[in-house]
């Protein structure tokens, strides 16, 4: 980038007289942290001054984030973060009352980033700390919580790169990709866990929704729910080389609980390692409208997984399973090896009103943790006889999301 014009220095005075600067030199904005207080004003100032054909550099140090951030009109901007960003934990009521809606399921985010041709790079140094334990304790094992912020949402973005960032203790989902196209997310490390009596529920690694052409590479995720989740109206999603701990690993859904048709097309999950996870290769829908087509789960090594292969058209409720008209078809599981926590390798109940079809299995070798053969339970799969995996029994419609023992 060229450096044009005279440098513009904006000095921001924080609490206790601490100083921070935003230096705009031509097309480059350089930000230094206060060290205490609230760094959100100078972060916003930098994005305001350098939102087009620019570079924003956040130097090393700790940046305290105490306000929501929305930067959705960026154009050709490179964002380089070398410091630690910490989201405040002592003003939960502010976050609950001011987080930004993301449309999906009434959820909210603390940071929207969007526009065209954006590169967000952490260079292996950026650390995002969401102070998630306070949100875990506030949520008390509840489900989705209005106002509990998703850490980073790629919102209406086109040609977006996110690379080289570490997350620790996210408030809710680590990342969300919505209404976006051509998004690449590489070399990311995420971990959220609980140290209290309450679990880290709904701390997904990423969820895609109403987005297409999303590429994910080289992730490590420890979280309390879905590691990688592909939700409604996602298309052309390519995910490879991911290690998941304590999570749903590779997930389609949930979808089919809205008023319109929810669709998922052309998804590849490849080269996954699922460790002590709830599921490994999972498709979960409500009995609504839409379809799931052309999904491949390939090269999975699993260890101590509750339900390695799972398909359900009535997730959570276990009701109206055979009334669902949301077809699930053209699904491949290939090279899935390792251990199931209990004695079930696969539980697949498809709707009798819209049976699954074109299921294909290749080289499936899942044993029980104790070393014995594992069951394959199937219902309403059209090509069951020649799909490449022998079913040992039927799978009931009210099959639980989590097993708690052998069946």
Cα-based torsion angle of the residue sequence 159, 266, 165, 175 in order, rounded to the nearest 10 degrees: 90
Q: How many CB atoms lie within 10 A of CB 183?
A: 24
Give the pLDDT score at 20.
Answer: 57
pLDDT (tens place) for every residue of the chain, 407 residues total:
333 334 555 555 455 544 557 898 889 999 999 988 999 999 999 999 999 999 999 999 999 999 999 999 999 999 999 999 999 999 999 999 999 999 999 999 999 999 999 999 999 999 999 999 999 999 999 988 889 999 999 999 999 999 999 999 999 999 999 999 999 999 999 999 999 999 999 999 999 999 999 999 999 999 999 999 999 999 999 999 999 999 999 999 999 987 789 999 999 999 999 999 999 999 999 999 999 999 999 999 999 999 999 999 999 888 899 999 999 999 999 999 999 999 999 999 999 999 999 999 999 999 999 888 899 999 999 999 999 999 999 999 999 988 999 99
Token look-up 């206060």 returns: 34
Answer yes or no: are the C-beta atoms of 105 and 150 closer than 8 Å.
Answer: no
Cis bond upstream, residue 254 (ω within 30) = yes
Question: What is the C-alpha to C-alpha distance for residues 224 and 205, in angstroms, rounded to an integer?
Answer: 9
Q: Exposure of 6 by Cβ count < 10 A (0-12 exposed, 13-18 middle, 19+ buried)?
A: exposed
Answer yes or no: are the C-beta atoms of 334 and 312 closer than 8 Å.
Answer: no
Q: How many CB atoms lie within 10 A of CB 37?
A: 18
Q: How many CB atoms lie within 10 A of CB 117?
A: 16
Pick the CATH number of 226-407 from 2.60.40.10, 3.40.50.2300, 2.160.20.10, 3.10.350.10: 2.160.20.10
With a CB cutoff of 8 Å and minimum separation 6, the contacts of 6 are none
With a CB cutoff of 8 Å and minimum separation 6, the contacts of 8 are 23, 24, 25, 49
pTM of the predicted structure, to 2 decimals: 0.95
Q: What tens digit of pLDDT does each residue of 171-225 get?
A: 999 999 999 999 999 999 999 999 999 999 999 999 999 999 999 999 999 999 9
Q: Which ranges of 217-302 would DSSP assign to H, the alpha helix?
A: none
| Secondary structure letter of residue 224 according to DSSP | B
Question: What is the C-alpha to C-alpha distance for residues 1 and 235, in angstroms, rounded to an integer?
Answer: 34
Question: What is the C-alpha to C-alpha distance for residues 156 and 93, in angstroms, rounded to an integer?
Answer: 27
Question: What is the C-alpha to C-alpha distance for residues 386 and 407, in angstroms, rounded to an integer?
Answer: 25
Strands (E), 224-374: 228-230, 234-245, 250-255, 261-275, 279-285, 289-305, 307-312, 328-340, 344-349, 357-368
| Secondary structure letter of residue 220 according to DSSP | E
| Partner residues linked to 229 by β-bridges | 207, 251
Question: What is the C-alpha to C-alpha distance for residues 241 and 218, in angstroms, rounded to an integer?
Answer: 5
Say which CATH superfamily domain 21-207 falls into.
Answer: Single-stranded right-handed beta-helix, Pectin lyase-like (2.160.20.10)
Question: What is the C-alpha to C-alpha distance for residues 382 and 350, in angstroms, rounded to an integer?
Answer: 10
Give the pLDDT score at 401.
Answer: 87
Question: What is the C-alpha to C-alpha distance for residues 389 and 335, in angstroms, rounded to an integer?
Answer: 12
- Name the segment(s) of the chain with CATH classification 2.160.20.10: 21-207, 226-407
Answer yes or no: are the C-beta atoms of 78 and 119 closer than 8 Å.
Answer: yes
Give the pLDDT score at 2.
Answer: 31
For the four alpha carbons of 147, 148, 152 and 156, in that order, the dihedral sign comes to negative
Q: What tens digit of pLDDT does each residue of 357-375 get?
A: 999 999 999 999 988 889 9
Give the pLDDT score at 1.
Answer: 30
Give the pLDDT score at 5.
Answer: 37
Question: What is the C-alpha to C-alpha distance for residues 387 and 57, in angstroms, rounded to an integer?
Answer: 53
For the four alpha carbons of 213, 218, 221 and 226, in that order, the dihedral sign comes to positive
Token look-up 């999906």 returns: 104
Give the pLDDT score at 372.
Answer: 84
Give the pLDDT score at 9.
Answer: 57
Give the pLDDT score at 300.
Answer: 98
Strands 357-368 and 289-305: unpaired
């Amino acid at each position: 980038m060229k450096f044009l014009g005279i440098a513009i220095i904006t000095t921001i005075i924080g609490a206790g007289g601490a100083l921070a600067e935003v230096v705009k030199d031509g097309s480059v904005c350089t930000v230094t942290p206060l060290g205490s207080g609230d760094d959100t004003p100078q972060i916003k100032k930098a994005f305001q001054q350098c939102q087009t054909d620019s570079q924003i550099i956040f130097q090393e140090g700790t940046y305290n984030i105490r306000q929501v951030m929305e930067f959705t009109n960026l154009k050709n901007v490179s964002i380089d973060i070398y410091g630690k960003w910490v989201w405040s934990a002592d003003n939960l009521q502010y976050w609950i009352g001011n987080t930004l809606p993301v449309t999906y399921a009434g959820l909210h985010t603390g940071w929207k980033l969007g526009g065209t041709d954006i590169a967000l790079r952490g260079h292996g140094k950026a650390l995002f700390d969401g102070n998630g334990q306070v949100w875990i304790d506030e949520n008390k094992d509840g489900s989705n919580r209005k106002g509990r912020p998703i850490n980073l949402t790629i919102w209406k973005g086109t040609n977006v790169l996110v690379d080289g960032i570490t997350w620790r203790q996210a408030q809710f989902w680590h990342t969300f990709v919505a209404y976006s196209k051509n998004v690449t997310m590489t070399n990311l490390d995420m971990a959220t866990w609980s140290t209290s009596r309450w679990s880290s529920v709904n701390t997904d690694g990423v969820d895609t929704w109403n987005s297409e052409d999303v590429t994910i590479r080289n992730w490590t995720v420890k979280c309390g729910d879905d590691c990688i989740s592909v939700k409604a109206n996602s298309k052309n999603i390519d995910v490879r080389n991911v290690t998941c701990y304590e999570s749903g690993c590779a997930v389609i859904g949930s979808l089919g609980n809205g008023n319109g048709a929810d669709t998922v097309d052309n998804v590849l999950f490849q080269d996954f390692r699922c460790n002590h996870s709830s599921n490994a290769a999972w498709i979960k829908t409500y009995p609504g409208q839409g379809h799931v087509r052309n999904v491949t789960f390939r090269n999975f090594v699993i260890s101590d997984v509750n339900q390695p292969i799972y398909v359900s058209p009535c997730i959570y409720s276990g009701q109206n399973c055979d009334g669902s008209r949301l077809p699930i078809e053209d699904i491949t599981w290939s090279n899935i090896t390792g251990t199931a926590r209990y004695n079930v390798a696969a539980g697949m109940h498809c709707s009798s009103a819209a049976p699954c079809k074109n299921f294909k299995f290749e080289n499936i070798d899942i044993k029980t943790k104790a070393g014995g053969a594992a069951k394959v339970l199937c219902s309403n799969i059209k090509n069951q006889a020649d799909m490449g995996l022998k079913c040992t029994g039927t799978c009931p419609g009210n099959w639980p999301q989590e097993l708690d023992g052998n069946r």
